[in-house]
């Protein structure tokens, strides 16, 4: 297909056949080992090079930027922040209601400067640091700039701008 279709058609095929799989259950498979994530990222880079008809040694940072496609790491960050936005503003399913609590909810009598941060349990083993119970609130707490958008649409726009503005991909 890479020799017969236009780059625009190849991008459409990428979005429908590859990128859609990256978006499915991102918060779950992001907990896998770095080795597995690297394998997926290398496949994504290969697909990007095919779309742009670049050589197999071409640097992919400008290619991602030119195609307006987020690399795997940014896709994972986007999924985590979107999910935690729904938790923070109570639009998530009720089964997640008591999973995480903010520092203000834990200490209502104290006026804390980081009261809107979620409480992150202390990890006793390294494996725990890859679990959603740890990584989701940790990602939310580390992104101050976008988390105060209460409207879901404006949040997504701000998040999109944030992730595309920092296009220094690895």
Q: Is the pLDDT of residue 32 over 80?
A: yes
Question: From CA 65, how far away is CA 159, in angstroms rounded?
Answer: 16
Share of the chain above pLDDT 90, in %: 60
Tell me what the mean pLDDT of segment 90-96 comes to: 90
CA of residue 63 relative to chain centroid, distance: 19
Q: Residue 118 falls within a domain, yes or no?
A: yes
With respect to residue 1, please indicate whether it lies within any of the assigned structural domains. Answer: no
Task: State yes or no: pLDDT of 158 exceeds 90.
Answer: yes
Confidence of residue 170 (pLDDT cuts 50, 70, 90): very low
Domain assignment present for residue 2? The answer is no
> Does 17 fall in a domain?
yes
Q: What number is the average pLDDT over the span 14-22?
A: 93
Residue range 2-30: mean pLDDT, rounded: 90
Residue 86 inside a domain? The answer is yes
Nearest Cα to 66, choosing from 83, 48, 82?
48
pLDDT surpassing 70 at residue 37? yes
If phi > 0 it is left, if psi is from -120 to 50 it is alpha, else beta; for residue 86 that is alpha
Where residue 101 falls (left for φ over 0; alpha for ψ -120 to 50; beta otherwise) is: beta
pLDDT at 107: 84
Full domain range(s) for residue 55: 7-165
In a domain, 131, yes or no: yes
Task: Please give the pLDDT value at position 51.
Answer: 93
Top-confidence residue, 126 or 39? 39
Number of domains in the chain: 1
Picking from 43, 5, 1, 46, the residue whose alpha carbon sits closest to that of residue 21 is: 43
The pLDDT assigned to 48 comes to 95
Residue 170 lies in a domain: no
The string of pLDDT tens digits covering residues 99-120 is: 998 888 888 888 888 888 999 9
């Amino acid at each position: 297909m890479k020799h017969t279709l236009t780059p625009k058609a190849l991008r459409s095929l990428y979005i429908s056949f590859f990128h859609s799989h990256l978006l499915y259950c991102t918060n779950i498979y992001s907990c896998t080992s770095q080795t597995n994530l690297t394998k997926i990222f290398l496949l994504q880079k290969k697909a990007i090079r095919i779309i742009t008809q670049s050589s197999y040694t071409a640097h992919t940072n400008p290619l991602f930027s030119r195609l307006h496609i987020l690399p795997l790491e940014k896709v994972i960050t986007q999924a985590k922040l979107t999910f935690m936005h729904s938790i923070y503003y109570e639009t998530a399913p009720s089964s997640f209601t008591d999973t995480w609590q903010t520092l203000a909810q834990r200490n209502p009598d104290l006026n804390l400067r980081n009261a809107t941060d979620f409480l992150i349990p202390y990890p006793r083993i390294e494996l725990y640091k890859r679990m959603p119970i740890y990584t989701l609130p940790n990602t939310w707490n580390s992104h101050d700039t976008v988390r105060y958008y209460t409207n879901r649409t404006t949040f997504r726009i701000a998040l999109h701008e944030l992730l595309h503005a920092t296009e220094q991909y690895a």
